[in-house]
Amino acid sequence: MRFRALLMTAGVGLCVAACVDWAVGTTLIARKPRESLTAASDLPVDRVELEQAGAPELAGWVAQREGSCGAIVLLHGRGANRLAMVQRAKLLFDAGYSVVLFDLSGHGESGGTVQGFGYSEGKDAARILAYARQRFTGQKLGAVGSSLGAASLVFAAPEARADAYVLEQLYASLRETTAWRMPFHVARRFQVDVLLAQMPLRLGFGADDVRPVDRLGKLGKPLMLLAGGIDPFIDQGQVMALQNAARGSELVWFDRAGHVDLLRHDEQRYSDAVLPFLSKNLCRPGVNPP
């Protein structure tokens, strides 16, 4: 009887743990209600919607700069929307670039029912890059992505590529970055395995598919990585693995920055690193930003 009671107790415990794990998974991927976004008055943008059969509609803004030496796609982080990239858009627009800002699926005004981890959003990024190529024919195309947006740009290739990338706070693998988010330091790997085991059922792909570090070296384009020196979710080991995977890439540390908006954290350092990199790799010889 005692053994049977122990088995029943263990079974109930497993059921409770499974329910809790499923509930946590639901919270992680659930999108916020759709938002209505208003453009900043000092950035002259046109609203754009991308529609494609069988895919979520994507909402965005485009600010076209006459005489620009290139166009730049900006993609936000997880749980945010294109408003998070407006300050970068203003910086780049003032520096002489046309800018393209979109909400990824599951965010802002775009369609979609879940927030992913960059893998599925790679299809969004590919559509956005293709649109920018078509709109700004003959110009080089840059891409700036933060966290989720950075991962989506990596997973957009080889279907669509930019001519130069600035990837901020990119994680090396979903398992690693999730481990740093676990509430208990003991048995982190086990916690991650249990939590992420539901991904194939919910999202149609597994955690081992979500490894930007395996794809970064295949971009084959000039690349700059921006990383926070005290980022609690992306440790320095992940950052160095990313740089090693993309030979010739540039790495800029923001020493006292956590997982925060790096432009707001240190605007001068951001500008001093990003603007010369983009000018070097996007502007045609003899054409300088206004």
- For 80-127, the pLDDT digits (tens) are 999 999 999 999 999 999 999 999 999 999 999 988 899 999 999 999
User: How many Å separate Cα 129 from the centre of its chain?
Assistant: 14
Structure confidence by residue, pLDDT tens digits, 195-217 = 999 999 899 999 999 999 999 99
| 111/103 Cα distance (integer angstroms) | 9
Is the confidence at residue 15, as pLDDT, over 90?
no
pLDDT > 90: percent of the chain: 76
Write the DSSP symbol of residue 284: P
Is the confidence at residue 12, as pLDDT, over 80?
no
Fold type of domain 37-173+210-282? Rossmann fold (3.40.50)
Domain spans in the chain, listed from the N-terminal domain onward = 37-173+210-282
The residue-averaged pLDDT of 70-81 equals 96
| 274/277 Cα distance (integer angstroms) | 5
Query: What amino acid occupies position 63?
Result: A
CA–CA–CA angle 123, 202, 181 (5° rounding): 85
Residue 255, both tokens: 């020493």
Query: What amino acid occupies position 265?
Result: H
| 51/69 Cα distance (integer angstroms) | 28
Query: What amino acid occupies position 101?
Result: L
Structure confidence by residue, pLDDT tens digits, 170-202 = 999 999 999 998 887 777 889 999 999 999 989
Q: How confident is the model at residue 26 (pLDDT cuts 50, 70, 90)?
A: low
| 203/191 Cα distance (integer angstroms) | 19
Query: What amino acid occupies position 155?
Result: F
The residue-averaged pLDDT of 56-68 equals 95
The residue-averaged pLDDT of 256-264 equals 97
Radius of gyration of the chain (CA): 20
Give pLDDT, residue 196: 93
Query: Mean pLDDT of all residues in the chain?
Result: 89
Of the candidates 278, 269, 262, the residue with the CA atom closest to the CA atom of residue 222: 278
Give pLDDT, residue 289: 52
Give pLDDT, residue 24: 52
Is the confidence at residue 281, as pLDDT, over 80?
yes
For the chain, helix, strand, coil in percent to 5 are: 45, 15, 40
Cβ atoms of 164 and 222 within 8 Å: the answer is yes
Is the confidence at residue 11, as pLDDT, over 70?
no
Lowest mean pLDDT segment, chosen from 37-51, 85-99, 230-244: 37-51
Task: Calculate the CA dihedral of residues 212, 135, 286, 222 and round it to 10 degrees.
Answer: 10
Give pLDDT, residue 21: 44
Residue 183, both tokens: 């509430």
Q: Report which secondary-structure segment, H or E, holds 51.
A: strand 46-52
Cβ atoms of 132 and 153 within 8 Å: the answer is no
**263 vs 202 pLDDT, higher one:** 263
Give pLDDT, residue 177: 95
Give pLDDT, residue 35: 85
Q: Report which secondary-structure segment, H or E, holds 145.
A: strand 141-146
Residue 98, both tokens: 């046309």
Of the candidates 233, 133, 230, the residue with the CA atom closest to the CA atom of residue 176: 233
Is the confidence at residue 27, as pLDDT, over 80?
no
Of the candidates 238, 233, 171, 174, the residue with the CA atom closest to the CA atom of residue 200: 174
Give pLDDT, residue 185: 72
